[in-house]
Structure 1
Amino acid sequence: MLRRNLDVLQSPLDAVGVISTDVFDTLLLRQPRSQKSRMMEGEQRFARLLREQGLRGNVEELLQARLMAEKLAYRALNVGGGVGEVRLTDIVERQLAMLGLPARLRDKRIDIEIAIEKNSLYANGPLAMALRQHRQAGIRIVAVSDTALGADRLSELINYFHGPGLVDAIYSSAELLASKRSGSLFSAVLASEKVSSSRLLHIGDDELADHTVPHRMGIQTVHVPKGRLRRLATKADGARSEVMRSVQRRLRRSGRSRISILEDQTAFGREVFGPIVAQFCLNIWMYARQAEAQSGTLAFCARGGVGIRQAFEHLVTRLGLPLSLRRDNILVSRLVAARIALESRSPAVLDELAREFAGNSFAEVATFLGGGKYTFPPAWDAPFSSSRFFDTLDSPAGRPVLADVIEQNSFFRRHLDTMSDVRDRVILCDTGLYGSTQRLLAAGMPERRFETIQFARCNYKGLSEDHFSKLSGLIVEDNLYNPFKVETVILRYWHIIERLFEPSVPSVRMLSLGSDGIVEGNCGNIAYGKIDASAGNPLLGGVLDYIDDLDDGAQVMRDIPAAWVRLKQAITNPSELDVLALGVGLRSVDFGRPDTINILNRTDKASIAQQLRSVKSHLWREAAIARDFPRLKSALLPVIELAHILRGVSARFQR
């Protein structure tokens, strides 16, 4: 395939004014080494350099920080529409800042990266020879690469393998903040080279970036994909590297001490949730740093976002992490978002209403949405049906409800306009899980650019996942608890995360305009610094204690494994202290309703048979078993764990 495509270059190219060539896997070919393998070698070399300078150099911490910085940078880039590019300089700067290492080491780390590339690449001699012949014939040769490296580093690599004088110019996506996959980098090449698309010939290995996209732009292409054996060899090398890393991680973790005995909720918050929340906040920071390439706002949602922001601001201040992206607390809730979607008659709101209000009447649903006092005819007392709701609202009795909904929406739009321009990215930050707020706001305000980052993402509702492309779970992205993936244990008892971050204020139900023209909510002033989310919340108080004592992000990485193991133990096999520490009591049903539900129902007067049957009714089943069946706990809890294992295996086979 490669030879046949290169044969195209053997004849004169009279209709071509410029030849552009991809760099990696085209002009420079790779040895069968995976990116992860190269990255591991790089961090090993960097760790040695750090130790030589008297600094802490832990390979696993360096690698974990690098992988997370890179992963979240690309996530933020892609969710934001692919505008800009991920740059290696930025990745390394974030890695160093996270670990508390001097910023002056950035170029040293990139030097190591280039040295490893020189050992991992080799020259594509036949292609270079063909390009030189066409260059001698008067055709300009340029290198065009989607890469995290700048043009100077690409030039260093090309000259190392091919000598100077092969290419006339180099176009790097990292430098121009434009990419081949979006087409913007090709546009930059056409403009700079002053050539029409029909007179540009591009050569590369990636079907999308090097063939499909430029071909649509009228650019001639030569596709030179990697061979199947090379791809398989690279994958095998990556698998080998991951196995070695897993073994090394297990050996290191086996020597780590367990979390000390926890005496109260504050201690539990500090020792267990402290590292977990700190990692969440570090992930928010890495995502937000990449999003700085575009104008936007990091909007922390009422209520859970208020507590998240308090922890986040503590962390960025404590570790001195730079972030210029605007931050605001936003008066939003599922109810507020549902009104927005309702006004635009989006089907998404019908999904949510059907799920939330099964068993309610049309009158009750309309009252919750409108927020006023209404007089409805008897027909409105019929059971709610989402398929008939829009038509019902359009009747004379529904018009006052619609008028109130529209007024509430005008307040919300005004509130949103104070913190962002309509063209800006609005990055909602919330607890999780399904992202109803994201789905409803995006459906009702398509002119806006909403995206959401949250603790976890899970389609527990079984509804559409179309909005998941704009919804990121920064700690967990799974639909089921996986006993072999410790972070997913939070899906067994999600209410503890909501309780951890939510301050003792009402959910946003009604908005109004203050005398100063500022939009206010029934929840009061939730601006940063106006509410202490840790007041009356010892778990969050303990988290803030942990963050305020941090030296660097490396400490978080060292503490994370034990924290997750301890949390899993507390949720799946809780002791009496765990039940007291994590019990959250009554939880609000929300969505404009005053109703509450109890995490653990009281069954003291029920028979044993009734208690066993009622286990499923508890939101934290393991705690109910530990409380009601202390003697059977050791037998019953493993059965629940086994059921989850079997469910996970079954789900994988069904996929």
Structure 2
Amino acid sequence: MKRNSLADLVNAVGQIDVISTDVFDTLLLRTSRSERSRIVKGERLFSDLLARHGWHIKADFLADTRFQAQRLAFRELSVRGRAGEVRLVDIISRQLSMLGLPSSLLAERLRIEVQIEKASLVANEPLANILRAHRRAGTRIVAVSDTTLPSEAVSELIQHFHGPDLIDRVYSSADHGLTKRDGDLFPAVAQAENVSPEKMAHIGDDFLADVQAPSAKGIAAYHTPRRPYHRYVRSANGALTEAGRFARRRARAAKATTSSFDNANLFGRYVLGPIVTQFCLLAWLYAVEAEASDKAVLLFCARGGVGIREAFERVLAKLCLPLGMRRENIMISRLVAARAALLTRSDSVVEELDREFRGGVLADVAKALGGRTYELPEIWRRPFSAQQFVTLLFGSSGAEVLADIEKQNALFTRHFRQLVGDADRIILCDTGLYGSTQRLLASGFPEIRVETIQFARSNYKGHSEEHFPKVSGLVVEQNFYSPFNVCSCVLRYWHLVESLFEPAVPSVHLFTENELGQTEANCGDITFGAIDPSVGNHLLSGALAYIEALPANGGAIALQDAEIAWRRLKDAITQPTEAELRCLEVGGRSVDFGRSDVLRVVAPGQNMTFIRKLISVKSQLWREGAIAREFPFLKHALLPMLGSILSLRGLLARQHG
């Protein structure tokens, strides 16, 4: 692949019919201001505009919603795995909807965006002069940009710096739904300009989008990279912007009044309520972007998805958020998905079974997956190994177990395909963390596009991340707690999130067929509206009460409440009071995967010596809760010590990640 220089382009006057030029950092050069800085500045101006109209929303909250809407739009585009582009008009429209602001403000916000861009760019006059020479010789000059901005906005920026006589037409990826980086925009431009690739040239700074992609289409490419220090300066500017936002967030949290909640319902309402609402808003952002490009269905996984669905539907109704995508509750568990993956002999199920049944025997795993006790040869009494289990299962001695697994999988497959219907994209919604259900289900049904959105995504055990591109943690995506991300406090007590959303129904183990030929499961009827997931769950009851109390335009209120709520939750998890211990200790957690074992979140330490109690803290599911309960006088020293250790681990993991 030949790399041409601008000197070669000067000498080619009269030999090219169409020249396409990249816009940002090519025809218009960016200053040291980073994208984050530009967005924050724009939201300050937007906040001022809103205040003049009677809406008082702090610029930082506007920036938060903009960043989230933009992040999830690009995340959805990445998971989609097809050509496309995120459009700024959609990002802003969703931002307005989340905040309960009228759509009529869209044009004003776009105007501010262009205004900020004008203050953050300078003209590349040497390049403009070369293009003008070609234009005088009869060459058509077009601008081609990978950008979220519409063509009209890009054209306005070019004319602001170079006048109206330089560019004949602007091609924006946002308008065409095609990009330079994928290479699809160049043929579209050539067709629109009625020119063959051999009579076209392209200029740009990005090696992939502006050199490799057009060269692959037969277009002569002229590389005009900017010096690396420009990127470093902008990165530093972005870091300073984030540091300022972090400091302001800490200052607001310090000023906020702290309240003590002595019962789970109040804690659920005033702490978990805003957090749950925020999560539901993020799920809506992802779903509405997917809805715009595919015929998708959103499947809420039993059990945790049942509680999520209840909150999600209430948030959509209360805040008047549009979503036409079909939504269903699905009877599924890791055990159910493992059966499907096992029948395809996927490597994913081997790793999953090895992790879940380490220390067990082969016959116990046969019982869990097959659903009953079997009379098996002595070899099945050996210590469990997933590879040996697969070998035995598909051998003669495992025929009875395999037949039951196949029968169970056939019943689930019928249920699954009925829910899928004519959808071409399946989005699971679950609590998290690792995304095992998605990984196993995708292995069992490789012909179906399966992805997952969940509260948090974390590879806290260091296993394979092959499925992570299809799993999105909407609130948290990191492996360990970090002091710089308050939301990561849930990783220190994840069972709280799981128990918050799970109704009092069994995990899905076995399917049957009723007299009407319909598929049923041991969990009972979990279709939306059939059960109330908040029954007996005071934390969820409180969270739902918070949602119901929001006004129709209460998105901004919820997001502002969430900022304070996260600080309160972090304090309650990391330094629990006696009242918070009572509110948040969720009791036993099922080991699941077809087993009846239950783990205590904070196991009692009676009849233990001081040293043994201290050692046992490491194995507790909520270490801070165990310390607060077992060492009421020493907790003021032990809890900060544990916090420092976990913070250091998170920082080291971030450094090496």
TM tier, shorter chain?
Answer: over 0.9
Distance 2:311 2:564 in 1: 20
349-358 vs 137-146, greater mean Cα deviation: 137-146
Contact 2:69-2:95 at 8 Å conserved across structures: yes
Secondary structure of the equivalent of 1:454?
A: strand
CA shift in 2, pair 1:248/1:385, >3 Å: closer
The amino acid that maps onto 2:336 is V
Equivalent residue number for residue 95 of structure 1: 95
Cα distance, 1:654 vs structure 2: 5.2
State yes or no: 1:410 paired with 2:410: yes
Contact 2:362-2:382 at 8 Å conserved across structures: yes
CA shift in 2, pair 1:192/1:257, >3 Å: same
Distance 1:652 1:209 in 2: 30
State yes or no: 1:574 paired with 2:576: yes
The amino acid that maps onto 1:628 is E
Equivalent residue number for residue 185 of structure 1: 185
Cα distance, 1:649 vs structure 2: 4.5
Cα distance, 1:187 vs structure 2: 3.2
235-244 vs 341-350, greater mean Cα deviation: 235-244
**Residue deviations 1:149-180 (CA, integer Å, cap 9, x gap):** 11222222222222224333322111112222
Cα distance, 1:217 vs structure 2: 3.0
Distance 2:647 2:91 in 1: 37
**Residue deviations 1:175-217 (CA, integer Å, cap 9, x gap):** 1122222222223223333444343322211122222223233
Provide TM-score, normalisation by structure 2.
0.94
Please, which of 625, 632, 635 is the counterpart of residue 633 of structure 1? 635
Secondary structure of the equivalent of 1:419?
A: helix
**Equivalence map 1:13-412=2 (5 Å):** 16-258=16-258, 260-292=259-291, 293-412=293-412
**Equivalence map 1:383-462=2 (5 Å):** 383-420=383-420, 424-462=424-462
CA shift in 2, pair 1:325/1:423, >3 Å: closer
Distance 2:16 2:445 in 1: 46
Equivalent residue number for residue 588 of structure 1: 590
Contact 2:13-2:133 at 8 Å conserved across structures: no
Cα distance, 1:522 vs structure 2: 1.8
526-535 vs 7-16, greater mean Cα deviation: 7-16
**Residue deviations 1:452-508 (CA, integer Å, cap 9, x gap):** 111111112321011111111111112112234322221111111110000011111
**Residue deviations 1:51-82 (CA, integer Å, cap 9, x gap):** 12222242111111111111111111111115
CA shift in 2, pair 1:159/1:433, >3 Å: same
Identity %: 52
Contact 1:422-1:448 at 8 Å conserved across structures: no
Aligned length: 652
Contact 2:14-2:139 at 8 Å conserved across structures: no
**Residue deviations 1:420-444 (CA, integer Å, cap 9, x gap):** 3577221111111111111112222
Provide TM-score, normalisation by structure 1.
0.95
Cα distance, 1:16 vs structure 2: 4.1
The amino acid that maps onto 1:429 is C
RMSD: 2.1
Cα distance, 1:15 vs structure 2: 6.4
Distance 2:12 2:617 in 1: 78
Contact 2:14-2:134 at 8 Å conserved across structures: no
Secondary structure of the equivalent of 2:467?
A: helix
Secondary structure of the equivalent of 2:454?
A: strand
Structure 2: give runs of 5+ residues left out of the alignment.
Answer: none
Cα distance, 1:23 vs structure 2: 1.4
Distance 1:105 1:16 in 2: 43
Please, which of 596, 606, 609 is the counterpart of residue 608 of structure 2? 606
The amino acid that maps onto 1:235 is S
The amino acid that maps onto 1:271 is Y
**Residue deviations 1:115-137 (CA, integer Å, cap 9, x gap):** 22222222222222322333343
Contact 1:423-1:448 at 8 Å conserved across structures: no
Distance 1:654 1:10 in 2: 47
Distance 2:432 2:333 in 1: 12
Distance 1:59 1:580 in 2: 37
Contact 1:82-1:182 at 8 Å conserved across structures: no
Contact 2:269-2:545 at 8 Å conserved across structures: yes
Cα distance, 1:624 vs structure 2: 2.1
Contact 1:183-1:214 at 8 Å conserved across structures: yes
The amino acid that maps onto 2:415 is H
Distance 1:618 1:234 in 2: 44
Secondary structure of the equivalent of 2:455?
A: strand
Distance 1:445 1:13 in 2: 56
Secondary structure of the equivalent of 1:418?
A: helix
CA shift in 2, pair 1:194/1:363, >3 Å: farther
463-472 vs 9-18, greater mean Cα deviation: 9-18
Cα distance, 1:538 vs structure 2: 0.6
311-320 vs 366-375, greater mean Cα deviation: 366-375
Distance 2:648 2:160 in 1: 55
Cα distance, 1:528 vs structure 2: 1.1
Secondary structure of the equivalent of 1:480?
A: coil
Contact 2:37-2:241 at 8 Å conserved across structures: yes
Secondary structure of the equivalent of 2:55?
A: coil
Structure 1's consecutive aligned runs of 4 or more residues displaced over 6 angstroms after TM superposition are none
Secondary structure of the equivalent of 1:466?
A: coil
CA shift in 2, pair 1:441/1:122, >3 Å: same
Secondary structure of the equivalent of 2:179?
A: coil
Distance 2:185 2:324 in 1: 27
Distance 1:22 1:458 in 2: 38
Secondary structure of the equivalent of 2:524?
A: coil
Cα distance, 1:246 vs structure 2: 3.2
Distance 2:309 2:22 in 1: 43
Cα distance, 1:396 vs structure 2: 1.0
The amino acid that maps onto 2:285 is M
Distance 1:117 1:165 in 2: 21
102-111 vs 206-215, greater mean Cα deviation: 206-215
Structure 1: give runs of 5+ residues left out of the alignment.
Answer: none
Equivalent residue number for residue 623 of structure 2: 621
Cα distance, 1:13 vs structure 2: 6.1
Equivalent residue number for residue 510 of structure 2: 510
Cα distance, 1:220 vs structure 2: 2.3
Distance 2:219 2:450 in 1: 34
Equivalent residue number for residue 526 of structure 2: 526
**Residue deviations 1:85-142 (CA, integer Å, cap 9, x gap):** 2111111111111111111111011011112222222222222232233334343322
**Residue deviations 1:223-269 (CA, integer Å, cap 9, x gap):** 211222322332333233333333433343333222x2212110010
Distance 1:254 1:629 in 2: 28
Cα distance, 1:300 vs structure 2: 0.9
Contact 2:392-2:398 at 8 Å conserved across structures: yes
Cα distance, 1:303 vs structure 2: 0.6
Distance 2:640 2:425 in 1: 46
CA shift in 2, pair 1:406/1:171, >3 Å: farther
Distance 2:210 2:574 in 1: 50
Distance 1:330 1:402 in 2: 24
CA shift in 2, pair 1:191/1:520, >3 Å: farther
